[in-house]
Amino acid sequence: MNLRRLLLVLASITALAVSAGVIVVALAFALYAGVKPYVGQAGGAAVVAAAAALLIAVLGLVVGAAAKPKRRKSEPEGLIERVTEFVREKPILSAAGALAAGLLAITNPRYLGAMARSFVEGREPPPRRRR
């Protein structure tokens, strides 16, 4: 991406942010003007503040829900399931490991048995922290 394009993107983002700010101020003023005859100046200001607080709360809930990590599937139980899950998550590392295992198996067949045992035995996952 060249510098000119980056500056154009930043300028358009800034223009959108300023436009959103103008819209929010205009809507707040319209709400204030609409409720002022019924509740007075202080009541109108309170209604605008309550509407802003409600908007912030809703946006906070939406962003908070989007930020939560997705639940992972249950841990694979068998050797084949564990290997396929590992290959799906880390294909390049899996290919490098397979190449290294092949080279080690050619030079010394005992290494192949040790690698197979490491997949079968596995490790216990670390305990989860509670917040």
- What are 43-78's pLDDT values in tens digits? 998 998 888 888 888 888 888 777 776 666 666 567
Residues 51 and 104 in one domain: no
The residue type at 47: V
The per-type count for the chain, helices as H runs and strands as E runs, is: 4, 0
Boundary-marking domain end, from 49, 68, 87: 68
Residues 43 and 104 in one domain: no
On whether the CB atoms of residues 113 and 105 are closer than 8 A, the answer is: no
- What are 1-18's pLDDT values in tens digits? 678 888 888 888 888 888
Residues 56 and 89 in one domain: no
**Hey, CA dihedral for 33, 38, 39, 42, is it positive or negative?**
positive
Is 73 contained in some domain?
no
Q: Which range of residues forms the domain containing residue 95?
A: 79-121
**How far is it, in rounded angstroms, from Cα 100 to Cα 70?**
33
Residues 95 and 63 in one domain: no
Is 74 contained in some domain?
no
Domain count, the chain: 2
- What are 74-104's pLDDT values in tens digits? 665 676 777 777 778 877 777 777 777 666 6
Is 55 contained in some domain?
yes
Is 129 contained in some domain?
no
Residues 4 and 64 in one domain: yes
Is 34 contained in some domain?
yes
Is 88 contained in some domain?
yes
